[in-house]
Every structure is written in C-alpha cells, then in structure tokens.
Chains A and B, each alone.
Chain A
Amino acid sequence: METVISVLASEPASMSRGRVFGAYLAEARSECVRYMRAPAFMLPIMLFPGLFYLVFGVLMVKSEGADAARYLLASYGVFGVMSPGLFGFGVSLALERDGGLLTFKRALPMPPGAYLLGKMLMAMCAAAVVILLLLALSRLAHVALLPTQAGALLLTGVLGVLPFCALGMFIGTVFKGQGAPGMLQLIYLPMSFLSGLWFPLPMLPKFLQQIAPIWPSYHLDKIAMAAVGLNNEPLLPHVLVLLGFAVGFLLLATRRLRRYG
C-alpha cells in the first residue's frame, strides 16, 4: 500500500509587496531597454513621421505659413504615435508567441499582467520620443506653441498610444510570427490615410469623409488638433470612443491569449 502525502502549502512562498512591485518595475525596465537598443524597431518609428513632417510640414509649407505646419504637427504626431502601439505591441507579441518567450514567461512566476504592462510602458515611452522629435522639428517651421499646448500634445501622444496598443495586441494574438508585420502595415497605412492624417479630410472624397469617424486615429487626431489649438469642439465623445475602442480590443485580445496562449 502506497500512501502519498502531498506537500501542502506548508511553507508559503510569500512575496513582500515591495518585491512584487520590484518585479513589475524590472519587467517594464527590461521591455524599454531592449527596444531602445534595437535600431530596427526604433528607427522606422522615428524616421517615418519625422521625415514626413520635415518634408511636408516644414519644407513644403513655407508659403502657407505656420498654421499649416501647426496642423500637420498634430496629424503627423498621431501618425507617429500609432506605430509604437501597433508595431511595438503587435509585432513583438506575435514574435514572442512564436519564439516561445511568452510560454516561458507564463511558466515563470512573473506577476500577472507584468508582461503586458511592460510593453505598454515601452510603447508610451516610444510615443513620447516621437512627439518630442516632431515638436523639435516644428520649431524649424516657426510653429509657436504655448508650453501648455506642447504639454497637451505630448500627453495626447503618450495616452493616445493605448488604443493602438490594444489593437496591436489583438492582431498579435491572431497572427503568429512574421505574418503580423505585414498585416499591421495593411491596417496602419490605409487607416492613417483614411482618417486624414496625410491629407486633410476635406481633400478626400465625400464618402471617405463620412466613414472617417469609424477609425480611432480620426478621434485621436481631433484631440491632437485641440491640443495645438486648432479645434474647439467638445472632446469628450472622442475620448469615449477611444476608451471604448481600447477596452474592447483589450478584452478580445486577453480572451484569445487565455484561450490559445
């Protein structure tokens, strides 16, 4: 007769709050450091909005004055903020699901959510860097922003990256590995165009203008315009749409992650 005594939680491996907080901090720090060190990730994120703004917003609008440069600062800012959210979250999640890192982290006693929280903070940092870069470039076009306006734009970027993190995360749970970047480009570029980030909406066909509000980037653009003082409409509806968008995709993505890993 064999008796089996399981070791019960005799010596609970309890962890102090300080150490748990430290684990969250270490995770976030690692996420930020690893991507800031990866030029293949940071360069496209910085380069595209930076270059576009330099060409279209600074060099080509000289004749039309600082107002056009101010307008484009907001819309290229939104364009620039979308990419760390979509790609930082989507591509890395898809690759790490494929490469086994996510499985490894799930087997480890990593505090719940630390992985996603770390990525989120990383995307927010990258968004801040992009906005700061565009703000610096806007000085060349003599865009005179009040410090509060510059601060508002920075805040818009840092928080505005979150709905795109949620969307990227969802895409990252649907596509594994190298399939995700292509899919994300297919979303990123048309969405930017259709919500008037490249050309002002009134220049687009009527139908496209009418469907623009279905894109989250359209709503973020409205908020960014308000930040630089070009929009006086109420902002609450746009904030709510973005919030709903973020929560919706976050729920979809976590459900998929839980189910399929």
Chain B
Amino acid sequence: MSLTTTSIARLDGAIKTYGRLTALDGANLQIGRGELLALLGPNGAGKTTAIALLLGLIRADAGTVELFGRDPQQIEARRRIGVMLQNAVLPPTLRVGELLRLTASYYPSPRPLAETAELAGIGELLKRPYAKLSGGQQRSVQFALALCGRPELLFLDEPTVGMDIDARQKLWSAIRRLIAEGCAVLLTTHYLEEAEVLADRVCVMAHGRMIHEGTVDELRARVALKRIRCVTGTSIEKVRGWPDVAEARLDGERLHITTADAETVVRHLLGADAQLRELEVQRAGLAEAFTELTRDADEVSATDQREAA
C-alpha cells in the first residue's frame, strides 16, 4: 500500500540528551496539513523537548527536525506558526490590544485585530492591562496571540490549564474553527478528554520515544477492558472469584468492576442478585488506555535496563 502524506512538521529519529539524561531517544513525529495531533505522555516523557525542537528553541544531537521543510531556527519557517507555551509571563503593564498588535507585527499577513479578538473570545478585554486579568483570561489572551498571525500550524502546550469549563468549551470551538480553515494543530495536554474531543490522531510518548500513534479509536481499542458499576448485595469477594473479572473494588455502596468480558459478568451479576440497581457499563476511556500503554512502556524500559545491566 502506498500512502502519501504531506507533512508540515517532522521529527525523524531525533535524539536530545541533557548530560546523562536522555530526553528524546529517537523520536518520530509527523504533522500533516490541517490535522489536529494530540501529543500525550506522562511528565518527563519528552513532549516539551519534542516541541522545543520543532520551535527551534534547542538543537537536536542527532536526527532530522523540519518545519515546513526548513530548519525551525530559520525565521521564515516560524512565520507560518503560532505558539502558546505552558508558562510565559507576558509584560504585565501592556494592554491586551497592545500585546496583540505587537505579536501580529512579527507576521507577514496577520489577522485583523477584531477578528483575532472575536475568535479567541477576548473582545471585551482589549483595553485591559494584562496583569489585571484572571488566570483563565490570561490563557485566552495567550491563545489569541498564538492565532493572530494566521498560522498554518499552531503549537498549543497545555492550553486549557487554569480555564473554567465555559472558557475551555469556547477554546475548543475556536480550535475547531481554525482547523476548518485548514490550520494544523499540535496539542499537548494532560486532559485526555480534550484529546478525545479534538484530536484526529493521538501520539503517545514515553521515555523519549513514540510508543503509539493512531486515531483516538485505535488507541482506545488497544485496551479491551470495560467498566461496570452497580449497587448490589453480592459480596465483593464472590465477584472477585469469578473468571473474567480483572479488578473489583467498592466505592461506598457502589461496586466497580473492570473486565474484558462485560456481557458475561453482567449476566453473572444479574443472576446472583435480582435486586441489583443502577447498572452502568462503559467502555474504557482514553485515560485507561493511556495508563495501560505507558505502564507497558515502563515495564519494557525496566526490562531493557535490567538486560543492559
């Protein structure tokens, strides 16, 4: 099968070490036009280093790093991206409108100020000094700065940290509008729900490498487990004794069961207790899949180290 993809940003076998610490150990990543790729992984997995390479903030020790076919340290490449970093303290005395005008001045054909403000939902903040905004509003302004240059690729590093639910929903819908315009997004997030809602593809990192890449559904399918919740008189010891039950625990009066074969277990449950109520069956979310994947990677890495030793 021949599959042709157009990648606008690419890591190929990228290696980066800090002293004895290997932050990236042959990382591969490709972002195509107009897609949203979520980069997931526990702290220390190498996400930040991967992004820093693509932004040209640091140089790789080995491997290829490309942004629009160029070295990211070339300004021409970066004129096509927008950036929202996890923590950047912006000048507190500048007004929001001034910050937007300044950032827009770096780009060849930026969005009009009003359009940027409308997209990011910060129209009423333009005259306010940055320091006077709430944490969530500051994040919204940082998002506005990221999109003001009409970028073709947007880097969003933990964009919704510190936002309330309403602001988060607004940001999500703004991201969808940008994608509809053809903008690609590289998103890192700790909220798996966010990746689930937005991402076309998910890339999971652990120990400086990509351990899984695929659609959200593919990632979920890697984990066949399902969750059952109910209130029942059947004792937890008895439930644990059934085959197919991977795990059972009590949370108050509610019984939580994890299993690969939900249908059989539900049949057992109903057979054992006719009074059973509040039955719920759920497929495992991205969170479980993610935990399982990274746990596997931890075990592999531990084995590797033992073998090496």
Residues of A within 8 A of B (CB): 1-9, 12-16, 19, 22-23, 25-27, 30, 33-35, 37-38, 95-96, 99-101, 103-104, 106-112, 261
Asked whether A107 lies within 8 Å of B85 as measured between CB atoms, the reply is yes
* Chain A interface SS verdict (over half): mixed
- On whether the beta carbons of B93 and A37 are closer than 8 Å, the reply is yes
**Chain B residues close to A by CB (< 8 Å):** 1-8, 10, 30, 33, 55-58, 66, 68-70, 75-76, 78-81, 83, 85-94, 98-99, 101-103, 105-108, 149, 155
Most buried by A among B30, B78, B149: B78
Given A103-B57, A109-B78, A4 contacting B89 (CB threshold 8 A): no
A14 touching B108, Cβ below 8 Å: yes
Given A5-B7, A6-B66, A107-B85: A15 touches B79 (CB 8 Å cut-off) = yes
Question: Are B5 and A111 in contact (CB-based, < 8 A)?
Answer: no
Q: What's the nearest-Cβ distance from chain A to residue B23, in Å?
A: 15
A108 to B85 Cα, complex, angstroms: 11
Least CB distance, A35 to chain B, in whole angstroms: 8
Q: With a 10 A CB-CB cut-off, give which of A38, A104, A109 has the most chain B CB atoms.
A: A109
Contacts of A111 in B (CB 8 A): 75, 106
**Contacting pair A4 B5 (CB below 8 A):** yes
> Nearest Cβ in chain A — how far from B66, in angstroms?
6
- CA–CA, A111 to B103, complex, Å? 11
**Are B88's CB and A103's CB within 8 A?**
yes
Residues of B within 8 A of A1 (CB): 1-3
- Give complex CA distance A14, B77 in Å: 10
Taken together as a complex, chains A and B put the C-alpha atoms of A111 and B80 apart, in Å, by: 14
**In the complex where A104-B85, A107-B83 touch, is A3 in contact with B90 (Cβ < 8 A)?**
no
- B101: chain A residues at CB < 8 Å are 26
A30-B2 contact, Cβ under 8 Å, with A7-B7, A107-B55, A107-B83: no
Of B8, B58, B88, B94, which one neighbours A7 at CB under 8 angstroms? Answer: B8
Q: Which residues of A are found within 8 Å of B10, using beta-carbon distances?
A: 4, 6
Q: Are B7 and A4 in contact (CB under 8 A)?
A: yes
